[in-house]
Amino acid sequence: DAGVIQSPRHEVTEMGQEVTLRCKPISGHDYLFWYRQTMMRGLELLIYFNNNVPIDDSGMPEDRFSAKMPNASFSTLKIQPSEPRDSAVYFCASSLRQGVDTQYFGPGTRLTVL
């Protein structure tokens, strides 16, 4: 298995632009998680899905952030409009099932908003 795949690996954009981050979870995993990691705040959970349905989005910072999972093999995290404080590394992770939820992380997308 190729593991969790994220794209792009690096994204540099200007303030106010729309940013879309993509994730392909491990095949057969029921759960998908989006995290943000910064030096100041560490690794924060933004939102997670179970069987393509958003379960908990309490970590989404504000309405500029949205996430979708149209099918079991694809998810997006969108920021519109982007701001410099959104600069961070965004990780996607997936896990097999509830109760034994070892999470498998992707390589991350490093986002820089100028």
Partner 1 sequence: SQKIEQNSEALNIQEGKTATLTCNYTNYSPAYLQWYRQDPGRGPVFLLLIRENEKEKRKERLKVTFDTTLKQSLFHITASQPADSATYLCALKLSGGYNKLIFGAGTRLAVHP
Q: By CB under 8 A, name the binding residues for partner 1.
A: 4, 31, 33, 42-45, 48, 50, 55-56, 91, 93, 98, 101-108
Q: What's the CA gap between 109 and 91, in Å, rounded?
A: 7
Nearer to partner 1 by C-beta: 52 or 81?
52
Give me the least distance between CB of 40 and partner 1, in Å please: 9
User: Tokens at residue 73, please?
Assistant: 């093999």
Of 9 and 85, the one with the shorter C-beta distance to partner 1 is: 9
* 88 within 8 A of 38, measured Cβ to Cβ: yes
Q: Which is nearer to partner 1, 44 or 83 (CB)?
A: 44
Max Cα distance, the chain (Å) = 41
